Amino acid sequence: MSRTTIADVAREAGVTKATVSHALSGNRPISDDTRMKVLAAAEKLNWVPSQSARALATRRANAVAVVLARDPEVIANDSFFPAFIAGVESVLSETETALILQVVPGRDAEERAYRTLSHGRADGALLLDLRGDDWRVPFLEELALPAVLVGAYEQPTSFSCIRTDDAAPVREIVAHLRAAGHERIAHVSGPLDYVHSRARADAYIAEVGTAELLREGDFTAASGRDVTEELLALPDRPTAILYSNDTMAIAGLSYARSQGLVIPRDLAISGFDDDHLSAHLSPALTSVSSDPAARGRAAARILREVILGARPRTEIVDCNVVHFRESTAPSASATPAVSRRTP
């Protein structure tokens, strides 16, 4: 089969080869309708210009970036990031686009990183760990660096956004725990300035009707252990705890067992993100698989489209699946694991 060329794309779009080049490079004014015809034709024919030609014609870096201002310990122990990056890379590899991953210690370093990226080091960025009033969004808009927001960002923005429903799995787990007879249900959240942590915490409060047993963790095992110790020391302790990731849940489960509690008879426990070890614990951990690879693929695909001139858009990725396992079963004789896709 012969290789698709720019002439094939021009023919499919009903324009000249020069128009295809200008539509992709942005060096000449092209109407939105014409640009979208070219993008649609290129997508249909699965065509991208060669790396060297693209660099010369578009003056692009042929790279996109992810900048993380997180504790390296959290990144190392969180199952979300490797899977998300794998999803991103599966899309970038189609066009031989490089991924720049930079971990920074704080805001000053993060600002410097984005300024460097906007000066030709990268063509766009993926923003993770979104906060309710995230300074990075207007900052990147000011830098004119294309970006895709990964999370349910609620503020006005000109950027594309990948959204998932973080509240629905929490509602489903709380309903499951109540059906098993639990009335004192606690929630150990992630940092509450993160939009996904806040969405889960808000759903929890709405379901149980009070924030009395809400505690804020930081996604590390140490915080999971410490907050569990605090909750179990209460005069009227919870009989179930919903954690915002599996790392905290596993640490909490271990601490509870060290205190002589039997899971789930004395304390039901559930996590989030469905770490690859969670199903193999004893008892197996109820958790929510959130398919970060699917989010990564969607984010990278939309960022590629935006870099080529497509208009920003929001996409809903329906990927959260609750896996009910032994750690929340009504008795020690648990039924086989049950998986449900959230609405």
- Provide the CATH number for the domain formed by 167-286+325-341 in this structure: 3.40.50.2300
Name the fold adopted by 6-58: 434 Repressor (Amino-terminal Domain) (1.10.260)
Examine the pLDDT at 55 and tell me if it is beyond 90.
no
**pLDDT digits over 87-132, tens only?**
999 998 888 889 999 999 889 999 999 999 988 889 999 999 899 8
DSSP 3-state of 174:
helix
Name the fold adopted by 63-163+292-319: Rossmann fold (3.40.50)
Q: Which residues contact 273 (CB under 8 A, 6 or more apart)?
A: 78, 79, 80, 245, 246, 287, 288, 289, 290, 292
**Residue 247: alpha-carbon gap to chain centroid:** 16
CA dihedral 72, 75, 76, 77 (to 10 degrees): 130
Examine the pLDDT at 52 and tell me if it is beyond 60.
no
State the amino acid at position 98 in one-letter form.
A
Task: Return the domain boundaries, the chain.
Answer: 6-58, 63-163+292-319, 167-286+325-341
The stretch 44-53 carries a mean pLDDT of 64
Enter the tokens of residue 58: 């578009």
Name the β-bridge partners of 277: none
Residue 342: the pLDDT is 44
**pLDDT digits over 190-247, tens only?**
999 999 999 999 999 999 999 999 999 999 899 999 999 999 999 999 999 999 999 9
Whether 6-58 shares its CATH topology with 167-286+325-341 is answered: no
Enter the tokens of residue 342: 């959230």
**Phi then psi for 336, rounded to 5 degrees?**
-60, 155
Residue 1: the pLDDT is 47
Cα–Cα distance for residue pair 6/310, rounded to 1 Å: 19
**pLDDT digits over 157-200, tens only?**
889 999 889 899 999 999 999 999 999 999 999 999 999 999 99
